[in-house]
């Protein structure tokens, strides 16, 4: 009977996550008539099975940003191009800009006007290759072992290289974005590198597809209050965006795709 009740609780939790985008342990404990410890144990088991991501006080849906860089490049390409065009308008001529690894950031690199003068640093060979074709862009490639999942160099060598740069703007890749969980990443070393790159930069910008909002990945990168600009799709919920603006995060809305 206990096993059945456990499965029943976890089924309800999964449905709440699908409908509401988050669950709170205290509310679930009241609904189920069990202790908060029991609910937290349920959430830990679900997180271990990849069914949710634990956050303080409850859980969020798992970020959909799975797959290799090659796979992610092919997903929602037109929407990422719209985000890229909007993000490119936020890059000032003459700036030093760090491009974090990621399919949306690759689209931003491709969207830069050919005449825009920049110093661009990146830990992603694919982004460096896109930028090298821009005659007005000086490219700094951050080295080290390239992680196949992220498409970027991570680890000690990449951190040492990043230590030599103080960008005006960090264009950060995000696996999940949530008001409470902040910007998150799937990989431990990826999150560590992202945090360091953001800390070296004067401002941080993230361009985010709509399905990543209200989701989390296992490793914290930074609070949304530390992200100066969030570039979002045209259909982003205005009420949700208001919450980000209240945290000091400016929002830029991309044009509608065909």
* Rounded CA separation 189/155 (Å): 6
Question: What DSSP string runs through 171-210?
Answer: E---SEEETTTEEEESSHHHHHHHHHHHHTSSEEEEEE-G
* Rounded CA separation 14/9 (Å): 9
pLDDT of 44 reads: 85
pLDDT of 125 reads: 96
- The CATH number assigned to the domain with range 70-253 reads 3.40.50.1360
Helices 25-32 and 36-48: crossing angle in degrees, nearest 10, is 110
Query: Does residue 9 have a pLDDT over 90?
Result: no
Which residue would you say has higher pLDDT here, 5 or 58? 58
pLDDT of 243 reads: 93
Length of the chain: 258
Over range 123-130, report the average pLDDT.
Answer: 96
The answer to whether 221 and 52 are in contact (CB under 8 A) is: no
CATH 3.40.50.1360 domain locations along the chain: 70-253
Query: Does residue 134 have a pLDDT over 90?
Result: yes
Share of the chain above pLDDT 70, in %: 93
Cα 160 to chain centroid, rounded: 23
pLDDT in tens, 203-229: 999 999 988 888 888 899 999 999 999
Cα 188 to chain centroid, rounded: 14
* Reported confidence tier of residue 251, pLDDT bands at 50, 70, 90: very high
Out of 25-39, 120-134, 186-200, 240-254, least confident range: 25-39
Phi, psi of 136 (to 5 degrees): -95, 5
Which residue would you say has higher pLDDT here, 32 or 234? 234
Look at residue 112 and give its three-state secondary structure: coil
CATH class label, 6-61: mainly alpha
Q: If you ran DSSP here, which 8-state letter would residue 225 be given?
A: G
* Reported confidence tier of residue 19, pLDDT bands at 50, 70, 90: confident
pLDDT of 72 reads: 57
**Phi-psi domain of 102 (left: phi exceeds 0; alpha: psi -120 through 50; beta: other):** left
pLDDT in tens, 152-184: 999 999 999 999 999 999 999 999 999 989 999
State the pTM of this model.
0.81
Mean of pLDDT over the chain: 89
CATH 1.10.10.10 domain locations along the chain: 6-61
Query: Does residue 4 have a pLDDT over 50?
Result: no
Query: Does residue 138 have a pLDDT over 50?
Result: yes
pLDDT of 3 reads: 47
């Amino acid at each position: 009977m206990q096993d059945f009740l456990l499965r029943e609780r976890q089924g309800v939790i999964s449905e709440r996550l699908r409908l509401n985008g988050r669950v709170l342990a205290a509310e679930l404990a009241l609904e189920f008539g069990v202790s908060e410890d029991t609910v937290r144990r349920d959430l830990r088991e679900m997180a271990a099975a990849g069914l949710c991501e634990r956050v303080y006080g409850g859980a969020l849906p798992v970020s959909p940003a799975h797959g290799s860089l090659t796979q992610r490049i092919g997903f929602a390409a037109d929407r990422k191009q719209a985000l890229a065009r909007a993000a490119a308008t936020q890059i000032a001529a003459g700036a030093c800009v760090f491009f974090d690894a990621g399919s949306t950031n690759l689209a931003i690199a491709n969207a830069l006007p050919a005449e825009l003068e920049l110093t661009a640093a990146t830990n992603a060979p694919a982004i460096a290759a896109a930028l090298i074709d821009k005659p007005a862009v000086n490219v700094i490639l951050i080295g080290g072992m390239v992680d196949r999942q992220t498409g970027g160099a991570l680890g000690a060598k990449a951190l040492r290289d990043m230590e030599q740069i103080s960008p005006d703007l960090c264009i950060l890749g995000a696996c999940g974005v949530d008001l409470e969980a902040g910007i998150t990443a799937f990989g431990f070393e990826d999150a560590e590198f992202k945090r360091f790159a953001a800390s070296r930069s004067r401002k941080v910008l993230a361009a985010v597809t709509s399905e990543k909002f209200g989701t989390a990945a296992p490793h914290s990168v930074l609070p949304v209050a530390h992200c100066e600009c969030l570039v979002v799709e045209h259909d982003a919920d205005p009420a949700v965006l208001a919450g980000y603006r209240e945290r000091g995060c400016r929002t830029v809305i991309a044009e509608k795709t065909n």
